Amino acid sequence: SQQGEEDPQALSIQEGENATMNCSYKTSINNLQWYRQNSGRGLVHLILIRSNEREKHSGRLRVTLDTSKKSSSLLITASRAADTASYFCATGLIQGAQKLVFGQGTRLTINP
Amino acid sequence: DAGVIQSPRHEVTEMGQEVTLRCKPISGHDYLFWYRQTMMRGLELLIYFNNNVPIDDSGMPEDRFSAKMPNASFSTLKIQPSEPRDSAVYFCASSQGTGAEQYFGPGTRLTVT
């Protein structure tokens, strides 16, 4: 089964609103990463949060990590049409941290 | 830097034919990963290398799949013979150091008829 599972599978919001995506995982991790994939393109790394961190910011992105609940969330504030993409969480396990296990992704649509 | 380079971008072949996908990682990166993405199974790690040495090939689906990394700037993923169920987008990614972010190439869309 998947190590990381995103929720919701699809999200549609209006431009300017905030978008929140969640990720749950099963086993202990070294780090958790979020990636974006535009249709027909490769994945682009957004942000990495280590297991000893609780929150991280990058521009309009805010990531939280709760290792006790084995969950993470990605918040995109003031969404734009260009944010329309699929978003994946990926977990780096403690053993073999360089090997990432990806979830199935959240399809985000920003309506103008 | 040009990023991770993959070729070809699209490949259409007939069942039974040999397919070779190519990847040039980012210079200086010591890890290289091959992934396969399908609607049904999502993004799956096939194999990864560290300093040109295969470390984990547990994701390689069958003996029909093989991967090599003859030097730090080049890797191939070969499917022989190909089957329609191999149709997918194959991504190559590279990273520097353990637990680091991965940089993905644009992918090769493979269609086996």
B50 touches chain A (CB under 8 A): yes
Query: Is the sign of the CA dihedral B39, B65, B105, A6 positive or negative?
Result: positive
Q: Is the dihedral of CA A91, B2, B75, A43 positive or negative?
A: positive
Instruction: Count other C-beta atoms under 10 Å from residue B105's C-beta.
Output: 24
State residue A1's pLDDT score: 43
Residue in A with minimal Cα distance to B39: A104
**Using CA atoms, how far apart are residues B103 and B30, in angstroms rounded to an integer?**
12
Which residues contact residue A112 at a Cβ distance below 8 angstroms, ignoring those fewer than 6 apart? Answer: A15, A81
pLDDT top residue among B98 and B58: B58
Residue B48 near chain A (CB below 8 Å)? yes
**Distant-in-sequence, close-in-space partners of A58: CB < 8 Å, separation ≥ 6:** A46, A47
Whether B101 and A43 lie within 8 Å, measured CB to CB: no
Residues of B in contact with A45 (CB under 8 A): 101-103
Q: What percent of chain B has pLDDT over 70?
A: 99
Tens-place pLDDT, residues A43-92: 999 999 999 999 999 999 999 999 999 999 999 999 999 999 999 999 98
Contact criterion met (CB below 8 Å) for A50 and A28: no
* Contacts with A99 from chain B: Cβ below 8 Å: 45, 48, 56
Instruction: Spell out which residues of chain A touch residue B36, defining contact as CB-CB under 8 Å.
Output: none
What's the whole-number average pLDDT of chain A? 92
